[in-house]
Structure 1
Amino acid sequence: MLRTQNESVNNGYDLIYPEIFRHNEAEGFFTDGSRGLKIQDVADSSKPLYMPLQKHTDVVVVLRKGSSLPTPGTVADAVITDRDDIITGVQSADCVPILVFDRKRRVTGSIHAGWRGTAKGILSNVLRQFFSEFKSDAADVLIAIGPSIRGCCYEVGEEVISAVISASGEGDYIYTQPTGGKHIDLSVANKLQALRLGVNPENIWISPDCTYCVSKYHSYRRAQKQNTVTTGRQGAFITFSTCGDAA
């Protein structure tokens, strides 16, 4: 069980438990900030926490039952597992954190998707591995997309838009501003990738929060604008429930 289940983390961070995981056998949550968030705030002694070294790739680590954890520093931006004895997670600060759960096959996934990862189709890659490696059915897949920079604030160039369209297709996630600038909503772009692979729309939850707009979140772009040297990170974590009920 996650240490934070039904507990408050005493470092001032709120925990966001997606409704979509309630009454299922997964525990998943997002934090609103993770500067100073320690492993012991998340994991208990019986469940180690595994987080890959994120480099905006489309690399997926698959951890099957009985397998060993990768060596520290293994580069990947997603983790899939059917192990119930570990917690997996990713960090983000404007990029899109995504948690995935197959409620029938009991497989979880944690994903870090910036614009590069989205353009490389990292969520599509994860879902295809759910289908091929674990024989998942799209109808059984639940997806929670956590807080990220949203279309209201994420201005990008044409090269980013073209790259994301190549992976997600055309959609209502691109906005032209009165000034002529283009904004993009990567949360919606990732949702479209899931829909194209057959995930039911009612099985996809998206946080309404924008990490740039809402000051309680860490935001890489906001930090740049404020000339802040370092930026904290949010966390996204998932594991199997020990009691058969989600957070």
Structure 2
Amino acid sequence: MKTTLHFVFTQSGAGCLVQALRKAGRSDPVIVTHDDLSFGPVNSSDRDVRTKWVADELGEPRWINIRTGSERLWDDSNAPDNRKILWLTRRSAMEYAGFLDWLSHLGDAPCEVVDLSEIMVPNQSEQDRSRPPRLLVSLGMLHPDVICPEKFWELAKPLQETARKRYQNLWQQLLAENAPLRVIKGDVLVSAPISFFDSRLMSQVTNKWQNVWKVVGQTLVSGPDDLIEYGDTFVMGRLRALVKSGQLEVQGELRDEVRDSRVRLS
């Protein structure tokens, strides 16, 4: 009997999907790959290359998961006939990059895709329920009580050959470019320099001292509402770099566990 395997690309997305499946009485395994491949080198099988880049560019945050290409691939060699469902959203750079990476290793093996990129969902909070539905930007933001009754797994469709080749060619191009960043542009990911979002971060800083984590939080919500382009790990790393370059100055330590540091324009 075939087992249905679900592949997702954030830890939060895996948690939401597991809860929804269990609520529906399903025991399908959910496999998560959560190395954020929207930043850093991606074309090396040497874990140390990516680890060093993260340490140099982002200050080596403690919770970054660094994996090689082979480790990012689910090994189903003992059960190659399992049904594989990939959960995709092109509105999250991390999830999109994780999907492309996984699909590149899959080759020509059959799989299905639940594409959430154009799914509209109701607002969950009390104060927002009167507002119209919004585009879903991440599986991790989809409440299990919405996933379960809607049975989103029934949206799974076989990945057609033309789409597979388009995705795989896109990832091969990104691997060849091996840029510091991969950012969302329209319907695809494109390579970008490490400084791509610096102006957005700098726009949140003033001549007055502000709490560092307030600036990070403001930067996280300053982009388009229908995209997730980066996380707090990346923003904090760039803030460190801007302090080091002299564009910003800081009071206190810029460590992830320190919550009372302050920052301002130099």
The structure that is strand-richer by fraction is: 1
TM-score under structure 1 length normalisation: 0.26
Of structures 1 and 2, the larger Rg is shown by 2
The structure that is helix-richer by fraction is: 2
TM-score under structure 2 length normalisation: 0.25
